[in-house]
């Protein structure tokens, strides 16, 4: 944890954690949090297929693409990652290349798309910089579409129509870490009502979000996605909770949880500042108190999320 740079003690204690750094820091947290039963169901459904064509929506630094490689599902993995931020996709190429080289694959020294090979096995990597609405896959016949921490920021019905159009019949949609309306901090701030109002504003900020004038999955993306899948003609195969538990063990945080915690506190603070109704001094007071609790290894954060596996009928 970088408390020396973070606990500034100035009148503006904001934290500048780079988004890519945050995504990388949350990888082990996500690994611990993914619902094991839903993940096992996905792996069982895919294992042994001669080829798997997978598309990851809002891939960020490629967390889900990494997993699909690590799970060793097939000898022919054709992966596509989509994100609107080209600088994140640059990192995906480097990360996946390193992962495959470590596993003995021969990877061409060029930007994706490329094909990596190892004793009869191939992994193809395609990366597309695009807004989801503007994306038109060249071959819309995926076996698997994944979306991690993504459905809260896009309009659900429109996205599901795209997913349905791009999956083969029987293809799978695996949507993970869908926020579902509960962010809890332990112990509460001493001004309990202030923190409750601030956390409620954090959820409301997700509800206020619009993409092309349409609401997104928002602060109840898990429950809403589940309902929209049923209404949208998908078969619901399995679902379960994938809560983030960023709680200290004997005063120490696991993996890079302290960075994730600070990044989320910063988001909550920023949303409070953007909404109005919270003074800078109140917000800073709250924020510095919470950071000090992290420094002491006391603060815990639990975020309720759902993982869902559905099939195209
Ligand atoms: C919360 S991050 C999750 C990243 C990754 N799936 C993970 O869990 O580590 C959401 C990602 O979606 C991308 N994104 C947001 N809106 C998008 C859109 N409309 N089209 C494509 N990508 C989008 C962002 O750039 C960001 O990388």
The two structure tokens encoding residue 195: 């923190």
Does 59 contact ligand 1 (Cβ within 6 A)?
yes
Residue 139's pLDDT is what? 86
Residue 292's pLDDT is what? 96
The two structure tokens encoding residue 13: 């204690």
Residue 47's pLDDT is what? 92
Q: Which CATH number fits domain 3-312: 3.40.50.150, 1.25.40.10, 2.60.40.420, 3.40.50.880?
A: 3.40.50.150
Instruction: Give the separation between CA 130 and CA 84, rounded to whole angstroms.
Output: 5
> Which protein residue has the closest C-alpha to ligand 1 atom 11?
58
Cis-peptide into 202, omega within 30 deg:
no
Question: What is the b/e burial string over 26-38, where b = at least 16 CB atoms within 10 angstroms of the residue's CB?
Answer: bbebbeebbbeeb
Instruction: Give the separation between CA 79 and CA 52, rounded to whole angstroms.
Output: 8
Question: What does DSSP say about strands 234-241 and 214-215: parallel, antiparallel, or unpaired?
Answer: unpaired
**Measured in angstroms, how far is the CA atom of residue 285 from the centroid of ligand 1?**
31
> What is the pTM assigned to this prediction?
0.94
Residues 24-62: tens digit of each pLDDT: 999 999 999 999 999 999 999 999 899 999 999 999 999
Three-class SS of the chain: CCHHHHCCCCCCCCCCCCHHHHHHHHHHHHHHHCCHHHHHHHHHHHCCCCCEEEEEECCCCCHHHHHHHHCCCCCEEEEEEEECCHHHHHHHHHHHHHHHHHCCCECCCCCCCEEEEECCEEEEEEEEECCHHHCCCCCCCEEEEEEECCCCCCCHHHHHHHHHHHEEEEEEEEEEEEEEEEEEEECCCCCHHHHHHHHHHHHHHHHHCEECCEECCCCEHHHHHHHHHHHCCEEEEEEEECCEEECCECCECCCCHHHHHHHHHHHHHHHHHHHCCCCHHHHHHHHHHHHHHHHCCCCEEEEEEEEEEEEEC
Instruction: Give the separation between CA 56 and CA 60, rounded to whole angstroms.
Output: 9
Pocket test for ligand 1, best of 27, 31, 32, 60 (most atoms within 8 A of CB): 60
Instruction: Give the separation between CA 223 and CA 193, rounded to whole angstroms.
Output: 27
Question: What does DSSP say about strands 210-211 and 76-83: parallel, antiparallel, or unpaired?
Answer: unpaired
Residue 20's pLDDT is what? 95
Does 148 contact ligand 1 (Cβ within 6 A)?
yes
Residue 17's pLDDT is what? 82
Give the position of tokens 């000898």: 75
pLDDT-flagged residues of the chain (< 70): 1-15
Residue 15's pLDDT is what? 64
> Which protein residue has the closest C-alpha to ligand 1 atom 14?
58
Residue 67's pLDDT is what? 98
Does 147 contact ligand 1 (Cβ within 6 A)?
no
Instruction: Give the separation between CA 154 and CA 253, rounded to whole angstroms.
Output: 32
**Side-chain-facing half-sphere of 85: CA atoms under 13 Å:** 11
Does 58 contact ligand 1 (Cβ within 6 A)?
yes
Residue 16's pLDDT is what? 73
């Amino acid at each position: 944890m970088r408390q020396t740079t973070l606990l500034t003690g100035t009148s503006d204690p904001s934290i500048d954690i780079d988004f890519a750094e945050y995504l990388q820091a949350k990888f082990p947290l996500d690994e611990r949090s993914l619902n094991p039963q839903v993940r096992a169901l996905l792996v069982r459904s895919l294992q042994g297929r001669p080829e798997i064509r997978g598309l990851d929506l809002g891939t960020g630094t490629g967390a889900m693409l990494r997993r699909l490689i690590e799970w060793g599902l097939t000898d022919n993995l054709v992966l596509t990652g989509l994100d609107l931020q080209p600088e994140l996709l640059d990192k995906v190429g480097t990360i996946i290349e390193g992962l495959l080289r470590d596993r003995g694959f021969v990877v061409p020294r060029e930007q994706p798309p490329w094909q990596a090979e190892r004793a009869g096995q191939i992994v193809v990597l395609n990366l597309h910089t695009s807004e989801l609405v503007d994306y038109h896959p060249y071959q819309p016949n995926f076996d698997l579409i994944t979306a991690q921490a993504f459905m809260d920021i896009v309009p659900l019905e429109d996205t599901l129509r795209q997913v349905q159009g791009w999956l083969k019949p029987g293809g799978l949609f695996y949507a993970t870490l869908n926020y579902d309306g509960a962010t809890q901090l332990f112990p509460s701030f001493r001004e309990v009502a202030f923190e409750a109002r601030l956390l409620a504003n954090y959820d409301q900020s997700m509800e206020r979000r619009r993409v092309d004038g349409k609401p997104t999955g928002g602060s109840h993306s898990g429950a809403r996605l589940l309902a929209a899948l049923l209404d949208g003609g998908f078969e619901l195969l399995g679902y379960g909770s994938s809560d983030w538990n960023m709680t200290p063990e004997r005063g120490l945080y696991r993996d890079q949880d302290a960075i994730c915690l600070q990044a989320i506190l910063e988001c909550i603070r920023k949303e409070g500042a953007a909404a109005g109704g919270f003074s800078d001094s109140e917000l800073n007071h709250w924020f510095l108190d919470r950071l000090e609790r992290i420094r002491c290894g006391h603060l815990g954060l639990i975020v309720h999320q759902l993982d869902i596996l559905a099939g195209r009928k």
